Amino acid sequence: MLGFAACRLRQEKGLKRGVMSKKNEIQNPITEGVIWQQLLLFFFPILFGTFFQQLYNAADAMIVGRFVGKEALSAVGGSTGMLTQMIVGFFVGLSSGASVIISQYYGAKRPEMVGYAVHTAVAFSVVSGLVMTAVGIPLAPIMLTAMGTPEDVVGLSVEYLRIYFAGMVANLIYNTGAAILRAVGDSKRPLHILMFSCLINIALDILLVVMCGLGVKGAAIATILSQLLSAVLVCICLMRAQDMYRLEWKQVRLDQRMLKRIVRIGFPAGLQSVMYGSSNVIIQAGINSLGTNTVAAWAAYSKIDAVFWMMVNSFGIAITTFVGQNYGAGKTDRVHKGVRSCMKMTVISSALMSVLIYNWGIYAYELFTTDKEVVSIGIDMMRYLSRFYVTYVAIEILSGALRGVGDCWIPMMLCCVGVCALRVGWILIAVPLDRNIFTIMFSYPLTWVITTILFAVYYLKYSRLRVRRKNS
C-alpha cells in the first residue's frame, strides 16, 4: 500500500509539473507559436522603438539645422554621430552577450541564472557608463580633430559631444534594460518608454534650442535629459516585474562567472561594432575633406538612411531572441525555420524601403535643411546607396541567428575582414585616385556583397547551427 501510495503521489506530482510546464510553454509563444507571426509580433515593437531611438538624434538635427544653421547640423549629425554610434555600439555589443544568455536561460526556464545575468548586466552598464564619461569628456576635441572635422564645425561638435558623454550612464542603463526586456520576449514596453521620452526630447529641443536660443548645447541637454527619463522608466519596469528577470538593486553586482560569460559572447559583437564604427569614422574623414556642404548633406542623409538600418536591425534583434529562446529550449528545427522566415521578410522589406527612399526621400531631406546645394548633394547620395540595401540583409540576419546560439567569434571576424578591413582599404587606396563622394560610397555595396557571400558559406557549411542540424 505504501509503495502504491508513493507511486501515486509521484504520478500526481508529475502530472502537476506537466501542467505547469504546459502553462509556462503557453506563456512563452516564441517557442510555441506560429513562427512568422511571432517574429512579426516581436519585430514591430522593436522597429517602432528603434524609430523613436533614432528620432532622438534626428530631432536634434532637424531643429538645429532649420533654426541654427548648416554648421550646427554638421556638428550634431556629422563626426559626433559617428563617434557616439561607435562608442555606444561597443557597449551595446558587449551587453548583447547578456541578452543572449538571458534568452537562452529564460527559454530553458532557469530563473536563478536569469537573475545572475540581469543583475550583472545592470552593474556592468553603470560601471561602463562612468568610464565612458570620464574618458570621453576630456578626449572629445582630440577625437574630433583626428577625424578632420572642419574648423567651422569642430567647436560646436566638441560642445555637443561633451554634454552627450555626461549622460552616458543613463544611456547605457536604458539600452541594457531594454535588451533584458526584449530577451524575455517583451518588446512592447521598451517601445512605450521610447515613445514617451522621444516626445519629451522634441519638446525640450523646441524649448532649449528655439525658445531659449541655446543652439547645439540645448540639443545636447535635451537628449541626455530624455535619456535619463528612459533609464528611470525601464528600471521601474524591471523592478515591478513578477517574473524571473525582476531587478532588485541590492542584488546588483558584478558576478565574475556571469560577467565572463557575458563578455565572452558579447565582446565579439562589441568589437564588430567598433570596427564598423572605425571604418565609418575613416569614411567620415574622407567626407570631411570634401567641404561643409558635403558634410551637412551626409549628416542629413544618415538620418534618412537610419530608417533602413533600424528596420534591418530590428529583424536582427528579433531573430537573435527567437533563436536564443528556441535553442535554449532544444528546438533546433524551429530555429532554422525561423531564420528562413526572417530572411524572406527582411528581403521584401528592404526592397520596399529602397523604392520608397529612392523615389520620395527628397521630401524627408527638406525637413533637415533648405540649402539648395546641400539638398542636391544629398539626393545624389540617397539615390545611389538606396539601390544596394538588399545586399546587406543576409549579414544582419545570419549574424543575429549565430549570435543567438553563442556563435560570435567567426561572424565577428567575417564582418571585420569583409566589411571593415576591405572598406578601409578601398578608402585608403581608391579615394586618393578619384576623390569624390561616389568613390567613397561605393565602399558600402562592395563590402556588403563580399561579406554576404562569406556569411552564406559559413552558415551553410561550417557554423554551429549547421553542425547541430546534421546531428538532429
Separation between Cα atoms, residue 81 and residue 87, nearest integer Å: 10
Q: Are 356 and 275 in contact (CB under 8 A)?
A: no
Averaged pLDDT for residues 57-69: 74
Highest average pLDDT, of 50-54, 161-165, 325-329, comes from 161-165
pLDDT tens digit sequence for 264-307: 888 888 888 788 777 877 887 888 888 888 888 888 888 788 88
**What's the one-letter identity of residue 25?**
E
Q: Comparing 224-228, 368-372, 409-413, which segment has the lowest mean pLDDT?
A: 368-372
Separation between Cα atoms, residue 355 and residue 82, nearest integer Å: 26
Q: How many CB atoms lie within 10 A of CB 67?
A: 14
Q: How many CB atoms lie within 10 A of CB 59?
A: 26
Separation between Cα atoms, residue 404 and residue 399, nearest integer Å: 9
User: Any idea where the domains of the chain sit in the sequence?
Assistant: 32-471
For residue 244, which phi and psi values (nearest 5 degrees)?
A: -70, -15
Q: Provide the pLDDT for residue 57.
A: 65
91 vs 17, residue with greater confidence: 91
Average per-residue pLDDT in the chain? 83
pLDDT tens digit sequence for 183-213: 888 888 988 898 898 889 889 988 998 888 8
Q: Provide the pLDDT for residue 27.
A: 57
Which helix H or strand E contains 339, and what residues bound it? helix 332-365
Averaged pLDDT for residues 146-163: 81
pLDDT tens digit sequence for 129-153: 999 899 989 988 888 887 777 777 7
What percentage of the chain exceeds 90 in pLDDT? 26
Separation between Cα atoms, residue 313 and residue 328, nearest integer Å: 22
Instruction: Supply the DSSP string of 314-328, one letter for each residue.
Output: HHHHHHHHHHHHHHH
Q: How far is CA 142 from CA 145, 291, 471, in A?
A: 5, 20, 53
The answer to pTM > 0.75 is no
Q: Comparing 64-68, 131-135, 335-339, which segment has the lowest mean pLDDT?
A: 64-68
Residue 166 has which C-alpha cell? 555626461
**What's the one-letter identity of residue 38?**
Q
Q: Provide the pLDDT for residue 96.
A: 79
Q: How far is CA 168 from CA 137, 228, 253, in A?
A: 11, 9, 19
411 vs 53, residue with greater confidence: 411
Residue 312 has which C-alpha cell? 534591418
Separation between Cα atoms, residue 19 and residue 13, nearest integer Å: 10
Separation between Cα atoms, residue 327 and residue 316, nearest integer Å: 16
Q: Are 173 and 132 in contact (CB under 8 A)?
A: no
Query: What is the pLDDT confidence band of residue 12, given thresholds at 50, 70 and 90?
Result: very low
Separation between Cα atoms, residue 425 and residue 206, nearest integer Å: 42
Q: Are 173 and 233 in contact (CB under 8 A)?
A: no
Q: Are 400 and 317 in contact (CB under 8 A)?
A: yes
Q: Provide the pLDDT for residue 467.
A: 46
End-to-end alpha carbon distance in the chain: 43
Averaged pLDDT for residues 68-76: 71
**What's the one-letter identity of residue 456?**
A
Q: Are 303 and 58 in contact (CB under 8 A)?
A: yes
SS3 120: helix
18 pLDDT above the threshold of 60 = no
Q: Are 437 and 465 in contact (CB under 8 A)?
A: no
11 pLDDT above the threshold of 60 = no
Q: Provide the pLDDT for residue 24.
A: 43
